[in-house]
Amino acid sequence: MWRLLADDGVFINPVIPPAVPPNDCLIRTSFMATHTDDQLNMALEKFDKIGKKLGVI
């Protein structure tokens, strides 16, 4: 998911073991006050599209 989001223009950080338990992973996002509503909506749409494609949503 991290790679597909990055390829689609959404910068996130994957969190993998040993930072999380074995067989787990997280996606860390960072938002700032300078992000516009349009930018946040675009990111959410891409999370939705890619999450559904991968079967995690």
The predicted model gives 5-10 an average pLDDT of 95
**Residue range 8-56, pLDDT digits in tens:** 999 999 999 999 999 999 999 999 999 999 999 999 999 999 999 999 9
Range of the domain at 49: 2-54
Query: What CATH number is given to the structural domain containing 11?
Result: 3.90.1150.10
* Alpha-helical regions (H) of 1-54: 2-7, 37-54
Integer Cα distance of 25 and 19 in angstroms: 9
Total-model pTM: 0.82
Q: Total domain count for the chain?
A: 1
The pLDDT of residue 5 is 96
